[in-house]
Amino acid sequence: MNRVVNGLVVILLSGCSMPSLPEIKPILLSDIKAQTFTYSELKGQQGVLWEKARHHIVATYGKSQPVLRVENELNGTLLGKGVIRWKLQEGASSIYCYSDYDIRFMARDNKARFQLKLLAGIPEISECSDWELPSKYGYEQILHEFKEMSDRLELSFKVGI
């Protein structure tokens, strides 16, 4: 009996001394920074670069969502809005959430700039009704995906439409 009591005491004490999981909370609005990617030394006039970017964005998103709101070929600008998926926390059982982000693109002869910025709010498709902003883990995933999007866009400038 004494062994059983001692065993229970050890289990209870070890449970108290185990580190607790960090609280998962959203990032602050002030943590969000626009991610700007500049492409210089491109080969192509403003109109050609604009068309490649437009084609790339439309091909990437398909017609599943209204991505581009403003398409101004004369000024070389594209403005739009996208939706990005992120995981609440690390681990296989974590749920996926969604956030909106702004897309801004500007082309000039032989150069271009692409800017992506996360927006606060909860898109209709998100299952995370209490998360207007992502967790720190989620924001890191978003920033990584923004970089990947930029890399794919840059590659599209180097190949034909």
Contact 66, 72 (CB under 8 A): no
Structure tokens at 159: 């190949």
Three-state DSSP class for 119? coil
Q: What is the mean pLDDT of residues 105-120?
A: 98
pTM for this predicted structure? 0.82
* Domain 29-158 coded CATH 3.30.390.10: no
**Each residue's pLDDT tens digit, 22-55:** 678 999 999 999 999 999 999 999 999 999 999 9
Q: Report the range of poorest mean pLDDT among 30-34, 92-96, 150-154.
A: 92-96
Q: What is the mean pLDDT of residues 56-79?
A: 85
**Each residue's pLDDT tens digit, 121-136:** 999 888 888 999 999 9
Listed by start position, the domains of the chain span 29-158
Q: Give the mean pLDDT of the chain.
A: 87
Q: Which pLDDT belongs to residue 161?
A: 54
Please identify which residue in the block is written with the tokens 């491109």: 42
